[in-house]
Amino acid sequence: MYIGRFLVVGKTENGKPFVSYRVSSRSFPNRKAVLKDNTVSIIPNDLNEIFSNPYITYNCIKVVDNTIIATNGSQTDVIADKIKLGLPIRDALAYSLITMDYEKDDYNTPRIAVVLNDSECYIGYVRHDGMGVEKVELENGKGYYIGVYNSCKISNNQIIDVVGEEPEEICKYIMEYNEFEHPVCCAAAVIDGGKIKIETL
């Protein structure tokens, strides 16, 4: 099944909150996830491709204090800025999505986002025909997924088993999750004892 770029958020089997983001792409497969400080950026292998599409380069994971923001586009930075200003997680997520709206490309690609800390988690999306923001309860060893194609909704039917305790293990698991086609690159962040660990693949 092809769901394009997607997020998975849940808890490890030992109860550590995590989020993972995977680029799955047919049109722009030559990209990589680069970690610098507490931010993961998606960039093309050939930097000249930046000029061919405004939506292929962006920060997909960013950390503000003890909160992780993970998205499929430039809304990552907007949500992070609102949280820095003191907005509650739900409000920062909803405001940023409705303000930025879906991507104005040939596919009306939705924007998807997850914001979580060690006590709460929100999933949000905005499509050309609707939007939603919901608080979700995370279960050990399980992950909600939301993708830009055929899965842009928040649903108990979109939950998968997730294996691994460390971000590199989760990143590898999601990257190799073969039910979802055309993997390109991946990143994962785990909240572990008050610290946030991030890895890319």
pLDDT above 70 as % of the chain: 100
| Cβ neighbours for 156, distance < 8 A, ≥ 6 positions apart | none
pLDDT tens-digit map of 136-165:
999 999 999 999 999 999 999 999 999 999
**Helix, strand, or coil here: 95?**
helix
Mean pLDDT of the chain: 96
The Cα-based distances of 191 to 67, 142, 168, 180 in angstroms read 9, 15, 13, 25
**Helix, strand, or coil here: 19?**
strand
pLDDT at 72 over 90: yes
Alpha helices for 13-161 (secondary structure H) = 75-84, 89-100
Residue 60 pLDDT:
98
pTM higher than 0.85: yes
The CA radius of gyration of the chain, in Å to the nearest whole number, is 15
Is 6-200 a domain of CATH 3.60.20.20? yes
- Per domain, the residue ranges of the chain are 6-200
pLDDT tens-digit map of 11-29:
999 999 999 999 999 988 9
What is d(CA 153, CA 24) in angstroms, rounded to the nearest whole number?
18
What is d(CA 133, CA 42) in angstroms, rounded to the nearest whole number?
24
